[in-house]
Amino acid sequence: MSPYVTMILISSLGLGTTITFTSSSWLMAWMGLEINTLAITPLMVKQHHPRATEATTKYFLTQATASGLLLFATLNNAWMTGEWNTMELSNNLSAPMITMALALKMGVAPMHFWLPEVLQGLPLLTGLILSTWQKLAPFTLLYMTSHELNTTTMTILGLTSTIIGGLGGLNQTQLRKVLAYSSIAHLGWMVIIIQYSKTLALLNLLLYITMTSTAFLTLMTLSATKINTLSTKWAKTPIATMTAMLALLALGGLPPLTGFMPKWLILQELTKQNLPALATLMALSALLSLFFYLRLCHTMTLTISPNTNNNMITWRKKPGQKALPLAMLSIMTLMALPTTPTMMAIMN
């Protein structure tokens, strides 16, 4: 694809998210979401093979449905109450519809069925943009309206997401599907805490973006897309597999890695809100996710498969391979737990 077109599409991605961030009217918010959908479509279908075309079509249809539902709900709200402001959504017909529309946009269970198939059809870099950047705009809308949305609905969405994210990832051998189910599970944690503490949800989102970016960038460096291929990648870059193991355990939420921070604070907040049963269920469902992360660590780093290796361990990185983003994100993923008070102060 011509670099001019790529620049137009990437800048439109930025424009769409910025418009949604800075919108006070529902019309502008919807417009930003549509610009995002429109701009990412050619990036997804860049390679023009049937699997990518299928993934792009599925993505476009689900996102268009979600945007249409959002527009319908906000027009209903404008008709009934005359209010176009995003922060003033009175609890009528529109609030549950907006919840469902945003859940479909982000891939929160039970509206998650498109996410594994779409991520599987994409190259890893586009999958990274989809998992991280495309979650920012709908999450912003959820952040702005969460105090008016139905508590029971949000709790059910969050709990279902973590459980389905955990159970669904257990049977996967394709790494992109594993990361899709990981995304669903993490979104469940965000959705469940957003009604009690918006700052914790935002913190969870930002840390999830960091950790997922590390995972995707590592897989891009190792150029591995299945568990089978992952087993021989230790010889390509041993340091990458080692940090990837720790990054996957961070995604699973183990101390002393960064991923423990959001889970710990969320469980603490749920307990403070007198919901110990919910906190227990969330913690137990996180164990399911931890199992498939551990399986990836097992095949990647903790064991050596009995194949003969074709390559020698590379001494230097390949020319043109950008190691700085992966390095920075890995450090953030592994070592940011002691900065918890700072993070809480910043997010507040």
Residues lying near other proteins in the complex (CB under 8 A) are found at 1, 5, 8-9, 12, 15, 19, 28, 31, 34-35, 38-39, 41-42, 45, 48-50, 52-53, 56-57, 79-80
240's enclosing H/E stretch is helix 238-252
Q: Which two tokens stand for residue 293?
A: 């992360």
Which is closer to other proteins, CB of 15 or CB of 347? 15
Q: How far is the CB of 27 from other proteins (least distance, A)?
A: 9
* DSSP symbol at 337: G
Which is closer to other proteins, CB of 56 or CB of 160? 56
Q: How far is the CB of 245 from other proteins (least distance, A)?
A: 37
Exposure pattern of 18-31 as b/e (b: 16+ CB <10 Å)? ebbeebeebeebbb
Q: Are 336 and 261 spatial neighbours (Cβ–Cβ below 8 Å)?
A: yes
SS3 category, 226: strand
Q: Which two tokens stand for residue 15?
A: 């424009």
Q: Are 105 and 63 spatial neighbours (Cβ–Cβ below 8 Å)?
A: yes
Q: How far is the CB of 43 from other proteins (least distance, A)?
A: 9
Which is closer to other proteins, CB of 20 or CB of 289? 20
Q: Which two tokens stand for residue 237?
A: 């870059």
Q: How far is the CB of 41 from other proteins (least distance, A)?
A: 6
Which is closer to other proteins, CB of 50 or CB of 319? 50
Residue 169 CA to residue 289 CA, distance in Å, equals: 7
SS3 category, 25: strand
Q: How far is the CB of 15 from other proteins (least distance, A)?
A: 7
In the numeric block, the tokens 């996180």 are attached to 286
Which is closer to other proteins, CB of 38 or CB of 331? 38
Q: How far is the CB of 338 from other proteins (least distance, A)?
A: 43
Q: Are 114 and 107 spatial neighbours (Cβ–Cβ below 8 Å)?
A: yes
Q: How many CA atoms lie within 13 A of 148 on its CB side?
A: 19
Which is closer to other proteins, CB of 42 or CB of 96? 42
